[in-house]
Amino acid sequence: MRRPAILCLAVCAAASGSPATVPPGYALTWADEFEAPAVDTNEWTHRTGKIRPFCIGKAEYVSIGDGAMKVLCARDGDLPTGGGLITKRRHRHGYFETRAKMDGGPGFHESMWTTWLGSMEAFADPAQGGAWRERPKIEIDCFEHYGTHGPREFSYGIIEWFPAKGGVSRDLHATSDDLARDFHVYGFEFQPDYCNFFFDGKLIRTVDMRGLPQNDFHIWLTCIATDRNARPGNGGCLFDYLRCYAIDPAAYPGRRDAFIREIEARQGPTPKSRGTDVWIEAEAFSELGTWTAAWDNGTRAIRGLEPGKGKAPAKAIAAKTTAQIPERGKYRLWVRGRDFAGDHPAARFFSVAVGGKRSTARFGTHRKDGFAWQDGGSFDLEKGSVVIEIIDTSRFYARCDKLLLTTDAGFDPAGP
């Protein structure tokens, strides 16, 4: 599967009548400027309760004054305080922005992020019976300023929770400004094909969203303690506003196409042989068996079983799919698997069968760090459907990214 492309582009001037930090073509749809005397509970839910084993969130720790929302950073007995606000409105695509000032104390984690759930309690609601875990969903972290971060850096990115699990992207942004000394603007633009991250109106990253799950989300403005011994700096994290924008449908195609061109230019062309090629993504198999879709070092792949840990190893069920062979011929099999140079190299192996015939090669045994292609030998195939199987022969965290069947016997998808 293609890796999510990361790129930097210059930001165009904002649309007329919009703040300079807003991308062109967007218009305001909803905002809370935090000018009211109290939290608008028609629009917001408080983040409350035990947050991690050692942070306590209460509605009283959130206040509005001087045109900003404040999450108190202090101590409640032995526990650090925290909390925040969660939008009751659900959002999907658009541009979303806040202006925030970090607390600056060690051990506190300030953030603007999204989840498909609208309250902290929903994470542990037994009435949902775990069904929420089965919905395709992603989390967008517009910014996260961890207690372990320095005063001039923050992280941001995207996490996929289902059907794959892991980081789609994660980056650390360094700035010359002290984030706890002054307010700064943080924004993200989420669309079906890409997601942009902004700091003070400048585009810092674009992530390829094509093929990833899309879901409605609530926006969380929060500050919690990530260290039991957290100590406040300025006494709280401040959020100046939350603003939500939608793009003019007429403006979207041109903006989308510009980002997609840049994404694809950075990804580079798909290797092509002089013969007939059949590319197969492992995570797109119709039956995954005991394999699971997962992100691994920026690559969306499938992962095999873990060791039994003293118990009898679980029975491995092969991943299966049907591929269409466009013409009769001798096809060479190539498989891209994951291995490690220094951590149990060649131990996370798996096998592949084509049309019921298993390759004699073991994959995931290249002894390099990361994913790499391995030759699986040749198969005589007829035109039409053929069943492809990926067999977890090691049952030790095997990983497979993709497969290639090609009639060009001399072609190597890894290049020269």
**277-406 belongs to CATH 2.60.120.260:** yes
Q: Read off the pLDDT of each residue in 340-344 and give the average, rounded to a whole number.
A: 96
The model's pTM is 0.86
Does the bond joining 269 to the residue before it have cis omega, within 30 degrees of 0?
no
Asked whether residue 128 carries a pLDDT value surpassing 80, the answer given is no
DSSP state at residue 38: S
Using CB atoms within 10 A of its CB, is residue 268 exposed (0-12), middle (13-18) or buried (19+)?
A: exposed
**Exposure letters 279-292 (e unless 16+ CB within 10 A, then b):** ebbbbebeebbebb
Give me the pLDDT at residue 298, please. 86
pLDDT at 120 > cutoff 90: no
Answer with the residue of higher pLDDT: 403 or 311.
403
Beta-carbon neighbour count of residue 126 at 10 Å?
Answer: 6
Buried b (16+ CB within 10 A) or exposed e, 342-379: eeeeeebbbbbbbeeeebeebbbbbeeeebbbbebebb
Residue 308 pLDDT class (50, 70, 90 cuts): confident
Confidence band, pLDDT 50/70/90 cuts, at residue 14: very low
The answer, yes or no, to whether residue 136 has pLDDT greater than 60, is yes
Say if residue 12's pLDDT is above 50.
no
Helix (H) or strand (E) holding 223: strand 218-225
If you average pLDDT over every residue of the chain, what do you get? Answer: 91
Average pLDDT score over residue span 288-296: 95
Q: Where are the domains of the chain?
A: 6-254, 277-406
Instruction: Quickly list DSSP for 352-386.
Output: EEETTEEPS--BS-S-SSEEEEEEEEEEEE-SEEE
Span 355-367, pLDDT tens digits: 999 999 999 999 9
- What pLDDT is attached to residue 44? 98
**Residue 319 structure tokens:** 């991943």
Cβ atoms of residues 86 and 172 within 8 Å: no
pLDDT at 9: 37
What are the C-alpha distances in Å from 334 to residues 129, 281, 294, 388, 406? 42, 12, 21, 13, 8
Q: Residue 221, exposed/middle/buried by CB under 10 A (0-12, 13-18, 19+)?
A: buried
How confident is the model over 325-351, as a mean pLDDT? Answer: 98
By CB atoms closer than 10 A (0-12, 13-18, 19+), residue 179 is buried
* Alpha-carbon span 81 to 304, nearest angstrom: 41
Which tens digit of pLDDT belongs to each residue from 313-331? Answer: 679 999 999 999 999 999 9
CA 255 – CA 20 distance, rounded (Å): 17
Judge whether residue 7 has pLDDT over 90: no
pLDDT reported for residue 235: 96
Residues 161-209 have pLDDT tens digits of 988 989 999 999 999 999 999 999 999 999 999 999 999 999 999 999 9
Which of 109-123, 137-151, 299-313 is the least confident region?
299-313
Q: 415 falls in which pLDDT band (50, 70, 90)?
A: confident
321/319 Cα distance (integer angstroms): 7
Q: What is the mean pLDDT of residues 59-76?
A: 97
Question: Which of 385, 382, 383, 378 lies closest to 407 in space, CA to CA?
Answer: 378
Same fold, 6-254 and 277-406: yes
pLDDT value at 267 more than 90: no
| 121: confidence class by pLDDT, cuts 50, 70, 90 | confident
Query: Confidence band (pLDDT; 50, 70, 90) for 311?
Result: low
Residue percentage of the chain with pLDDT more than 70: 91
* Residue 257 predicted with pLDDT over 90: yes
Handedness of CA 253, 255, 257, 259 (dihedral sign): negative
For residue 315, the 8-state DSSP code is: P
Q: Which amino acid is at 250?
A: A
pLDDT, residue 16, reads: 38
Q: How far apart (Å, rounded) are the C-alpha atoms in residues 103 and 178?
A: 11
Say what the pLDDT of residue 153 is: 97
- For residue 5, pLDDT beyond 60: no
394 sits in which H/E element:
none
Local structure of 33: helix, strand or coil: coil
Nearest CA among 165, 167, 143 for reference residue 155: 143
CATH of span 6-254: 2.60.120.200
